[in-house]
Amino acid sequence: MKKSFFSLFSAASLLALSSVAMAAETSLDATTILRIEQRDASGSSKQNIIPATQFLGLDLDKLADGNLSLHLYGWGRVDLADRSYNNEKADGAFTYGYLQYRFRQANADIRAGRLFVHEGIVNEHVDGLAVRTDLPLGFGLAAFGGATVHTRHLWGEGSDGKGDGILGGRVNYRYRGMLDLGLSGVYESEAPTLVSHTNGDHRLVGGDIWLSPHQIVEIIGHSNYNPETSRMAEHAYRLNLKPLKQLVLTGEFNEYRDQSYLYTWSLFSAAALNPADKSRSVGGSASYTFSKSVELSGDYRHYTRELGNADRFGGDLKLSFLNNSIRGGLGYHYLRASQNFAIGSNPSASYHSLRAYALHDSNTYFAAVDVIDYIFKNKVYNENSAWEGTLSMGYHLTPALALSGDISYGRNPEFTEEFKGLLRLTYNMTFDGKGGKK
């Protein structure tokens, strides 16, 4: 299925590329990163990690009759010293590549290729087709189908645990810019049988809501049901209030039924998870803007799960000066948890986190400094804290081309000392149909 699909997509892509000369707009996004890291883990020899990674994106808009576009993005990596990930010296991925046609009526469009689908409760990576359109009386319809995008095989397995085919969609109703109600679902073909892992079939149905009866009130949320376990999998809802122009209040509620929510995740055993077990978080935050230069926020969240409970609270101060060209901030949070809340052989359930950062951006150069520190209530591998400081500097060689670099140093329980460096070359440019810069 995949082979024939990609043959068809490649032919369509070549047809689109032949129309580049007629394109009204071409955008190129390229980032080259050279990362330099020295790892010094307790009980292991030092490693020199030097991966070179290239990210490349291309967007060709207004092809053919002006409604057709082509979008491509991918990355590749080569290790110049010790292996940075697994046992492979080189790696890469074709993240997405699709043709899109926007119709002049009913806000309709169709996409074909490798693409991401975000519709209601649906968040999938698909090799296939996706369509969406408005319908009369405020209704709307979105549908997709094709092959799943497979990732690297699991350790000791000949598969990533996913099925081969996938389809789904969403039906929604909108009312006067005040309400959007949706019903959506995803159905993946039967998952392969694994030798050393246990997983289930990826199938979900659910509903979502966006409600704003007044400009100061907004409710956003969704609920998922897993037909494979015959239980609810997830509830996630947020209330946003803006009683004053400078004040924003937010409340959140999230609940997960562990077995149903993690049913398709091969790292967990569906048989080992108690269907009745659930995780829940409830909390809120407040943000007040004193002026264009000063914003203060505070937040609190309570976590409940079968292993124990925890509370996380703290605040952030954001500063901005000289038309936002100079920015900075301070932050503090504390996680207070029961000892069983943390998972691991030598964890600290409770810890303080502190952060301070500052950055400056101009037409010629930009620079930033960022320091973050975690102070453990109980020692982790005989260490009281983990911290890292990062210094970044960059220069705009041209309006479209920038060269930048990062240097960071830190200490933590896993790596006694950790030194990292990074060089980054970024190119972003948009051309009109005649080849001129925009």
pTM of the model: 0.85
**CB neighbourhood size of 269 (10 A):** 13
| Angle value at C-alpha 171, between 2 and 178, nearest 5 degrees | 135
Strands 25-41 and 51-63, by their bridges, are antiparallel
Asked if 90 contacts 76 with a C-beta cutoff of 8 angstroms, the reply is: yes
Which tokens belong to 7?
A: 């043959």
User: Cα(114)–Cα(97) distance, rounded to whole angstroms?
Assistant: 5
Nearest alpha-carbon partner for 103 in 66, 128, 136: 66
What's the confidence (pLDDT) of residue 37? Answer: 81
pLDDT tens string 184-223: 999 999 988 877 766 788 999 999 999 999 999 999 999 9
Q: Nearest 5°: phi and psi at 52?
A: -105, 125
Which tokens belong to 392?
A: 């970044």
Nearest alpha-carbon partner for 40 in 415, 438, 437, 427: 415
User: Cα(405)–Cα(34) distance, rounded to whole angstroms?
Assistant: 9
| Angle value at C-alpha 215, between 290 and 136, nearest 5 degrees | 150
**CB neighbourhood size of 102 (10 A):** 14
The Cβ-side half-sphere exposure at 102, using a 13 Å CA radius, reads: 9
What's the confidence (pLDDT) of residue 135? Answer: 97
Plot region of 233 (φ>0 → left; ψ -120 to 50 → alpha; else → beta): alpha
Give the helix ranges, DSSP H, for 128-282: 258-261
Which tokens belong to 72?
A: 């491509």
3-state secondary structure 278-318: EEEEEEEEEEEECCCCEEEEEEEEEEEECCEEEEEEEEEEE
What's the confidence (pLDDT) of residue 175? Answer: 96
Q: Provide the pLDDT confidence category of residue 38 given band limits of 50, 70 and 90.
A: confident
| Angle value at C-alpha 420, between 414 and 425, nearest 5 degrees | 145
User: Cα(116)–Cα(92) distance, rounded to whole angstroms?
Assistant: 18
Beta strand ranges found along 322-364 (DSSP E): 326-337, 351-361
Nearest alpha-carbon partner for 190 in 162, 156, 149, 224: 162
Residue 269 pLDDT > 80: no
What are the extents of the domains in the chain? Answer: 100-432
What's the confidence (pLDDT) of residue 191? Answer: 87
The Cβ-side half-sphere exposure at 75, using a 13 Å CA radius, reads: 12
Residue 268 pLDDT > 60: no
Those residues with Cβ within 8 angstroms of residue 364's Cβ, 6 or more apart along the chain or in another chain:
395, 396
Q: Nearest 5°: phi and psi at 10?
A: -65, -40
Give the helix ranges, DSSP H, for 196-283: 258-261
User: Cα(166)–Cα(82) distance, rounded to whole angstroms?
Assistant: 38
What letter represents residue 217's amino acid? V
Average pLDDT, the chain: 88
**CB neighbourhood size of 434 (10 A):** 7
* CATH level 3 topology of 100-432: Porin (2.40.160)
pLDDT tens string 373-431: 999 998 888 889 999 999 999 999 999 999 999 999 999 887 677 888 999 999 998 87
Q: What does the DSSP 8-state code read for residue 137?
A: G
